[in-house]
């Protein structure tokens, strides 16, 4: 199981029955594949759909039916379509139980940076700023370090921010870290690694929860 | 102002017509900027766009290069704020407060106000001279219905321009669309044209093909 799959599987276990959930592009989209059976969860796609279903067979792909990652998807029974203004009214209006996004950087105050690198990368924030401002719970799903081995969980984000004080939880292949008013709290840890090792690979200061448990990705 | 999300629900024929006419110095408002070689990417490559307001342009490498070189004035704003600014523009609301972007560059220089213990950013309405939208079916009175996620920004943009031109796949007579199903009432639409030869590329697949071709 690679790092991304571990992260997606762990977050899938956090999705509760009856939730309305928006999954960001990339890793977060994988979460839908690992949901425990029997859960009644409605996925929203910010381009204007509730009740997003799994990808279609290649031959059945409909160009008028895509998710926010511009990938073809399918309809689940009870799905609905709406315009972008309505889509973001439900996002901004606090109707999303959970929003899972990728990140380039997160910091001790729950600040998030995931949309641009000045002078290098022009992408845009898309719906990320609206999602973090409006969702009831914001989970960042990302690999713990960059490909170069640098920490993505910092004392203070250096990239332009997507939102300030918006992140509730950070989930990586190594740990579940909760953002609290007192700073970052390590609550779960991957099997075979010590809290000190997680700290060594994290720039931000972590405190260790007294009831720290092993992260289950079943 | 151009409807569409990525390459889904874009006015393909109207964009092609604009490119044929080589109208330059355009100030565009659209969520994305097509991709290299399709959609608004064609307008960009033809040198027609002077400035652009959108939320995500990550699929357009040429645009990224132009912005990094300072050749194009690009303003990126949150997607929901874009949608609501356009909605406000069509609804006669000059400005409104949102929580989105507080403490980020998008709030810089903007008025903020605390309401009920939370701080909000003042955003202003957006309108355009012309809106180009794409619908599935329309009638001669300009009533429009959309298909699946090809709706996206089209209905809201139809309300926020002095001249809204709708491109439809099928034009029908008044009375043939179920009035209960009409999303854009005809009052907003000034011109309607029937599109042809829709390509409707699926972007993720489109990009895959490009990469397979060695362009990536």
Please report the residues numbered 196 through 215 in chain B whose beta carbons come closer than 8 angstroms to any beta carbon of chain A. 200-205
By C-alpha distance, which of B68, B83, B106 is closest to B30? B83
Share the mean pLDDT of chain B.
Answer: 93
Backbone φ and ψ of B74, nearest 5°: -110, 130
Give the Cα separation of A109 and B83 in Å (integer): 29
At residue B39, the pLDDT reads: 95
Interface membership of A79 toward B (CB under 8 Å): no
Q: Are A83 and B100 in contact (CB < 8 Å)?
A: no
Largest CA distance in chain A: 52
Closest CA relative to residue A96, chosen from A57, A118, A122, A128:
A128
pLDDT digits (tens, 9 = 90+) for A117-126: 998 888 899 9
> Radius of gyration (Cα) for chain B, nearest Å?
18
Which residues from B are below 8 Å from A47, CB to CB?
5-6, 8, 149, 152
On whether ipTM exceeds 0.90, the answer is yes
Dump pLDDT digits (tens) for A197-217: 999 999 999 999 999 999 987
- pLDDT tens sequence across B62-87: 888 888 888 899 999 999 999 999 99
Q: What percent of chain B has pLDDT over 70?
A: 94
By CB atoms closer than 10 A (0-12, 13-18, 19+), residue A63 is buried
Helices marked H in B2-124: 12-21, 40-45, 61-68, 79-91
Q: What is the pLDDT of residues B21-43, one digit of tens each?
A: 999 999 999 999 999 999 999 99
Q: Name the token pair of A134.
A: 């409006």
Share of chain A above pLDDT 90, in %: 94
CA-wise closest residue to A70 among B58, B81, B133: B58
pTM of the predicted protein model? 0.95
Positive or negative, the Cα torsion across A92, A95, A98, A99? negative
Provide the pLDDT for residue B216.
28
- Beta bridge partners, B51, equal B27, B73
The tens digit of pLDDT for each residue in B145-161 reads 999 999 999 999 999 99
What number is the average pLDDT over the span A90-111?
98
Signed CA dihedral, A159, A67, B53, B78: sign only = negative
* B10 alpha-carbon distance from chain centroid: 8
A46 is catalytic: yes
Q: Looking at residue B213, what is its pLDDT?
A: 35
Tell me the average pLDDT of chain A. 96
Contact A148, A177 (CB under 8 A): no
pLDDT at B179 over 70: yes
Q: A25 contacts in B (CB within 8 Å)?
A: none
CB atoms < 10 A from the CB of A94, how many?
A: 12
- Average of pLDDT values for A100-114? 97
A123-140: pLDDT as tens digits: 899 999 999 999 999 999
Q: Is a pLDDT exceeding 80 seen at residue A42?
A: yes
Per-residue pLDDT averaged across A166-186, rounded?
98
The answer to whether B32 and B57 have CB atoms below 8 angstroms apart is yes
Q: Which residue out of A46, A143, A173, A188 is catalytically annotated?
A: A46
**For chain B, what percent of residues have pLDDT higher than 90?**
86
B86 touches chain A (CB under 8 A): yes
């Amino acid at each position: 199981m690679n790092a991304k799959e571990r992260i997606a599987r762990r977050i899938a276990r956090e999705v509760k029955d009856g939730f309305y959930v928006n999954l960001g592009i990339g890793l977060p989209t994988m979460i839908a594949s690992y949901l425990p059976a029997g859960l009644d969860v409605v996925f929203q796609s910010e381009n204007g759909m509730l009740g997003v279903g799994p990808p279609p067979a290649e031959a059945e792909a409909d160009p008028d039916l895509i998710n926010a990652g511009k990938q073809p998807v399918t309809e689940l029974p009870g799905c609905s379509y709406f315009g972008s203004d309505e889509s973001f009214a439900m996002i901004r209006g606090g109707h999303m139980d959970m929003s899972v996004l990728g990140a380039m950087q997160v910091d001790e105050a729950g600040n998030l940076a995931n949309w641009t690198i000045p002078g290098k990368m022009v992408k845009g924030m898309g719906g990320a700023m609206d999602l973090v401002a409006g969702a009831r719970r914001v989970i960042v799903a990302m690999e713990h370090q960059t490909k170069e081995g640098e920490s993505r969980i910092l004392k203070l984000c250096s990239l332009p921010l997507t939102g300030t004080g918006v992140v509730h939880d950070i989930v990586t292949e190594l740990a579940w870290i909760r953002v609290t008013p007192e700073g970052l709290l390590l609550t779960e840890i991957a099997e075979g690694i010590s809290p000190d090792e997680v700290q060594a690979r994290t720039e931000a200061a972590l405190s260790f929860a007294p009831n720290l448990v092993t992260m289950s990705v079943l | 102002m151009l409807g569409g999300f990525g390459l889904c629900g874009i006015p393909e024929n109207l964009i092609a017509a604009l490119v044929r006419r080589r109208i330059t110095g355009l100030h565009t408002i659209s969520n994305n900027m097509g991709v290299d070689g399709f959609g608004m990417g064609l307008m960009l490559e033809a040198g027609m766009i002077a400035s652009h307001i959108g939320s995500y342009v990550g699929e357009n490498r040429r645009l990224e290069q132009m912005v990094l070189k300072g050749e194009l004035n690009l303003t990126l704003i949150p997607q929901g704020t874009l949608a609501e600014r356009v909605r406000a523009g069509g609804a006669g609301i000059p400005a409104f407060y949102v929580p989105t972007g507080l403490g980020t560059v998008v709030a810089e220089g903007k008025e903020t106000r605390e309401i009920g213990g939370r701080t909000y950013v003042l955003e202003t309405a957006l309108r355009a001279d012309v809106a180009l939208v794409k619908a599935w079916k329309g009638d001669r009175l300009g009533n429009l219905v959309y298909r699946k996620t090809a709706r996206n920004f089209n209905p809201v943009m139809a309300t926020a321009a002095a001249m809204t031109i709708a491109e439809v796949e099928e034009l029908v007579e008044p009375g043939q669309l179920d009035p209960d199903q009409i999303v854009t009432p005809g009052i907003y639409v000034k011109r309607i044209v029937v599109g042809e030869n829709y390509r409707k590329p699926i972007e993720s697949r489109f990009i895959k093909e490009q990469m397979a071709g060695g362009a990536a």
